[in-house]
């Protein structure tokens, strides 16, 4: 049997270890914002495709396990307040505005009463394979789905080889897309998504000045702040997430912090 001194040492080590693990997990936690692209049956053609069946299972997983699925606006409010984001809190987003988001994702989100934001780039609206104005209006009117801006022409707002790019063009993509989408939908556009996740301090400021409540990126890297409302980090959901164990990790809040490489998609 261990004497009291050894028991005390072992207890101190265990407690110290638990505290250390807790501090580490807290340091890498990022409020999970899930990033989808296509909800389609052709998941063999692209890793960015999630099948309708898998998407429904994932949403049922969140609902059945009592995740707190909130809108991006709600997440921004929590971060601004300085309060910690509660456990099992998650946001759902889609990039590009593919019509399959309406055909396959929207019915599931509506049935389960889950909020989500679909980021649309203006020039794609109404073209083959992309959302129409009528579809966007319908989702806005009878579900918790919101429409966000993804610029006008899926324009790159990050660093370029030739320098800072074209400020006038970037401004039109940021400001003009907001105005156009609000006119199309009749609803405020409060969030922005950087195409390809690319942004600079200048283009980030443009998004703020244009009146957006916040913005999402992809994963700017471990050195970038986790709580920047104008560059929220996201977990990319792909066909590998068909496995619910993988999806559970990606929606845990620790996935981004554990990744060793930057997500460049």
109, two tokens: 């989100």
Contact 223, 256 (CB under 8 A): no
Q: Between 46 and 229, whose confidence is greater?
A: 229
Contact 259, 219 (CB under 8 A): yes
pLDDT at residue 31, rounded to an integer = 87
What ranges do the domains of the chain cover?
A: 25-258
Res. 254 pLDDT band, cuts 50 70 90: confident
CA separation, residue 185 to residues 75, 141, 170, 172, 205 (Å)? 23, 10, 23, 19, 25
In sequence order, what are the residues at sequence separation of 6 or more whose Cβ sits closer than 8 angstroms to the Cβ of residue 38? Answer: 46, 48, 49, 50, 96, 98, 100, 101
Res. 97 pLDDT band, cuts 50 70 90: very high
Which CATH architecture does the domain made up of 25-258 adopt? Alpha-Beta Barrel (3.20)
pLDDT at 261 over 50: no
Contact 149, 97 (CB under 8 A): no
DSSP one-letter code for 143 = S
**pLDDT tens, 135-160?**
999 999 999 999 999 999 999 999 87
Contact 61, 247 (CB under 8 A): yes
**Nearest CA-CA partner of 137 in 147, 126, 127:** 147
CA gap 31, 87 in Å, rounded: 9
In sequence order, what are the residues at sequence separation of 6 or more whose Cβ sits closer than 8 angstroms to the Cβ of residue 244? Answer: 57, 58, 61
CA gap 35, 134 in Å, rounded: 24
**pLDDT tens, 219-253?**
887 778 888 999 999 999 999 998 999 999 999 98
Contact 90, 29 (CB under 8 A): no
pLDDT at 206 over 90: yes
pLDDT at residue 29, rounded to an integer = 80
Q: Between 133-142 and 177-185, two packed helices, what is the crossing angle to 10 degrees?
A: 70
Q: What are phi and psi of 106, to 5 degrees?
A: -55, -45
């Amino acid at each position: 049997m261990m004497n009291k001194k050894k028991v005390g040492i072992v207890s101190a080590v265990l407690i110290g270890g638990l505290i250390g693990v807790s501090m580490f997990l807290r340091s890498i936690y990022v409020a999970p914002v899930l990033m989808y692209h296509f909800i389609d049956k052709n998941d063999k053609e692209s890793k960015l495709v999630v099948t309708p069946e898998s998407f429904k299972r994932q949403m049922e997983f969140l609902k059945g396990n009592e995740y707190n699925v909130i809108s991006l606006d709600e997440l921004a409010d929590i971060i601004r307040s300085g309060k910690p984001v509660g456990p099992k809190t998650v946001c759902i987003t889609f990039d590009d505005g593919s019509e399959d988001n309406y055909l396959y994702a929207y019915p599931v989100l509506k049935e389960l009463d889950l909020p989500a934001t679909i980021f649309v780039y203006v020039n794609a609206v109404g073209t083959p394979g992309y959302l129409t104005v009528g579809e966007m209006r319908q989702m806005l009117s009878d579900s918790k789905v919101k429409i966000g801006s993804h610029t006008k022409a899926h324009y790159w707002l990050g660093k370029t080889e030739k320098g800072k790019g074209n400020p006038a063009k970037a401004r039109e993509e940021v400001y003009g897309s907001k105005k156009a989408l609000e006119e199309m939908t009749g609803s405020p556009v409060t969030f922005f998504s950087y195409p390809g996740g690319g942004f600079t301090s200048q283009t980030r400021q443009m998004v703020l000045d244009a009146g957006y409540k916040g913005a999402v990126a992809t994963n700017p890297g471990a050195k970038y702040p986790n709580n920047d409302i104008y560059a929220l980090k996201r977990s990319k959901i792909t066909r590998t997430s068909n496995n619910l164990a993988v999806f559970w990790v990606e929606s845990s809040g620790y996935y981004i912090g554990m990744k060793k490489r930057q997500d460049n998609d």
